[in-house]
Amino acid sequence: MEQNTVDYIVVGAGSAGCVLANRLSESGRHSVLLLEAGPRDNNIWIHIPIGYGKTMWDPRYNWRDYTEPDPGMNQRKVYWPNGRGLGGSSSINGLICMRGQH
């Protein structure tokens, strides 16, 4: 039985995963398997800034994560959109910048 092998496996085709897979394979010496759980980024709402409102709750393009309960916020959880699909969170951010707190 013949087995297919690759040199590297990159899990997640978000911005970093795609760049990493490209850099690892650009010389042609290494083979790379890029795995992504979500779909291609061909939905119209991914390609226009206002589309964030459509992809923010769509389970096809968003893992729809929540933070852990925060003692400083009376144990509330915060919704944390997390993109799935080609481009990852960059595909669903609608040109919005999210920065972490100190």
pLDDT in 10s for each residue of the chain, 102 residues: 457 899 999 999 999 999 999 999 999 999 999 999 999 989 999 888 888 889 989 999 999 999 999 999 999 999 999 999 999 988 888 766 667 787
Quick one: pLDDT at residue 1? 47
Cβ-count burial 38-74 (b if 16+ within 10 Å, e if not): beebebebbeeeebbebbbebeebbeeeeeeeeeeee
- Do the bridges between strand 79-80 and strand 65-66 make them parallel or antiparallel, or are there none, so unpaired? antiparallel
Which of 20, 16, 86, 87 lies closest to 8 in space, CA to CA?
A: 20
What is the pLDDT, as a whole number, of residue 102?
A: 79
